[in-house]
């Protein structure tokens, strides 16, 4: 995800390269939960601004589709995010021991089959899920996390079914 970094950097006059905002949950709407309380460098927003920024981050993809009058989506952002992830993965494969990204990963056994979370990448792929992102959340983030779960569970199942029914994907698994 890049929108949260861009939005926070703009609001706090920071360089994009210096900003890290963990995002958990899913890919659309209220299932996207930026953890503004965990932003690095540490920044502060009042409660009203946290809610406004969270909603803005959640609808940023829709804003792009609307700006393109339905003729496309945030393809450049998706391409950049993919390139960034690949670069991070290559750094990890090369032995860099300090590589973290957010990814939509399978969680077993939990009530949510998939969940976007921070992961640590290493020479053998995903080395660890970083559960600390979910500890010490603000009250607003706790409530938003509870609210996204009922939305994310059926969405995860639909996406998994879609992947499994895709012939090329099913040949890989």
Q: What is the pLDDT of residues 73-118, one digit of tens each?
A: 777 878 888 999 999 999 999 999 999 998 888 876 567 778 888 8
Res 43: pLDDT? 95
Res 146: pLDDT? 92
**Element containing residue 4 per DSSP (H, E):** helix 3-12
Residue ranges in the chain whose pLDDT is less than 70: 1, 70, 72, 108-110, 167-173
What's the predicted TM-score (pTM) here?
Answer: 0.81
Would you put residue 17 in left (φ > 0), alpha (ψ -120 to 50) or beta?
Answer: alpha
Reduce the secondary structure of 28-94 to three states and give it as a string.
CHHHEEECHHHCECCCCCCHHHHHHHHHHHHHHHHHHHHHCCCCCCCHHHHHHHHHHHHHHHHHHHC
Res 45: pLDDT? 95
Res 172: pLDDT? 54
- Which of 27, 91, 120, 149 is an active site residue? 27
Please say if 27 is a catalytic residue: yes
Domain covering 3-172 in this structure, CATH number = 3.90.110.10
Res 144: pLDDT? 94
DSSP code of 108?
A: T
């Amino acid at each position: 995800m890049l929108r949260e970094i861009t939005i926070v950097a703009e609001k706090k006059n920071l360089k994009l390269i210096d900003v890290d905002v963990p995002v958990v949950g899913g890919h659309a709407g209220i299932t996207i939960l930026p953890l503004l309380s965990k932003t690095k460098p540490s920044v502060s927003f009042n409660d009203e601004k946290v809610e406004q920024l969270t909603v803005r981050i959640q609808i940023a993809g829709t804003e792009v589709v609307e700006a393109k009058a339905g003729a496309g989506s945030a393809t450049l952002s998706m391409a950049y995010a993919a390139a960034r992830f690949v670069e991070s993965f290559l750094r990890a494969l090369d032995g860099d021991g300090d590589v973290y990204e957010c990814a939509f990963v399978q969680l077993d056994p939990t009530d949510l089959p998939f969940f976007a979370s921070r992961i640590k990448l290493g020479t053998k792929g995903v080395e660890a899920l970083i559960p600390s992102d979910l500890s010490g959340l603000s009250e607003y983030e706790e409530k938003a996390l509870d609210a996204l779960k009922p939305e994310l569970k059926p969405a995860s199942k639909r996406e998994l079914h879609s992947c499994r029914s895709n012939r090329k994907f099913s040949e890989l698994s």
